[in-house]
């Protein structure tokens, strides 16, 4: 069997729980960040940029670049590489500045 990061570290995290990404359930391991849970499913992008609408996801992985922003539990502009993927967390792809709710 191919080596995985979990097998390398001999991790035994117990059963995955579930978070929601754009309406579909995504498994997440206890202790993973939202960005890590998305990467584990091969999802690399979860926002579009303000000016050109291009897709972005995690870049620096440590909270410095702000590229990994998403709307989390209704709050836009949250850094998903820093936020734990708690059971039931609702993540939605953030479009532009994430403040469409303020438009009028």
Partner 1 sequence: MVGAGPAGLAGAVAAADRGLRCVLLDAGARPGGQYYRHPDPALRAARPDRLHHHWSTFTELADRLAEHRAAGRIELRSDHHVFLLEAGRPWHLHATSADRATRLRASAVLLATGAYERQLPFPGWTLPGVVTAGGAQAMLKAGLVLPGRRIVVAGSGPLLLAAAASLTAAGARVPAVVEAGDYLGYARRPGVLAAVPGKLGEGAVHGVALARHAVRLRRSSAVVEAHGEDRVTAVTVARLDREWRPLPGTERRIDCDALAVGHGLVPQLELATELGAATRTVPDGTLALRVDARQRTTVPGLWAAGETCGVGGAELALAEGELAALAIAGAAPPAALLARRRRLRGFAELMAGAHRPGPGWPGWLRPDTEVCRCEEVPLARITEAVEELGATDARTVKLLTRAGMGWCQGRMCGPAVACLAKGAGPAGRAGAVEPAPDRRPLSCPVPLGELAQLPPSTDADADAGADVDVDVHVVGAGQSEGQGEDDPR
Q: Spell out, one character per residue from 6 to 35, where the chain touches partner 1: x when CB under 8 A holds, - when not.
A: xxxxxxxxx--------------xxxxx-x
Handedness of CA 40, 57, 86, 96 (dihedral sign): negative
- Four-CA torsion 30, 17, 1, 57, nearest 10 degrees: -80
Site for ligand FES in 68-87 (CB under 6 A): 68, 79, 81
Residue pair 26/14 in contact (Cβ under 8 Å)? The answer is no
Q: Which residues bind partner 1 (CB under 8 A)?
A: 2-14, 29-33, 35-37, 39-40, 44-45, 49-52, 54-67, 69, 75, 77-79, 81, 84, 97-99, 102
């Amino acid at each position: 069997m191919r080596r995985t990061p979990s097998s390398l570290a001999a991790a035994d995290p117990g059963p995955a729980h579930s978070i929601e990404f754009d309406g579909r359930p995504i498994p997440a391991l206890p202790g993973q960040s939202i960005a890590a849970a998305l990467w584990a499913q091969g999802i690399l992008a979860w926002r579009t940029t303000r000016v050109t609408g291009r897709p972005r996801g995690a870049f620096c992985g440590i909270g410095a670049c702000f590229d990994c922003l998403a709307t989390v539990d209704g709050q836009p502009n949250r850094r998903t590489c820093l936020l734990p993927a708690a059971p039931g967390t609702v993540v939605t792809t953030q479009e532009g500045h994430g403040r469409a709710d303020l438009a009028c």
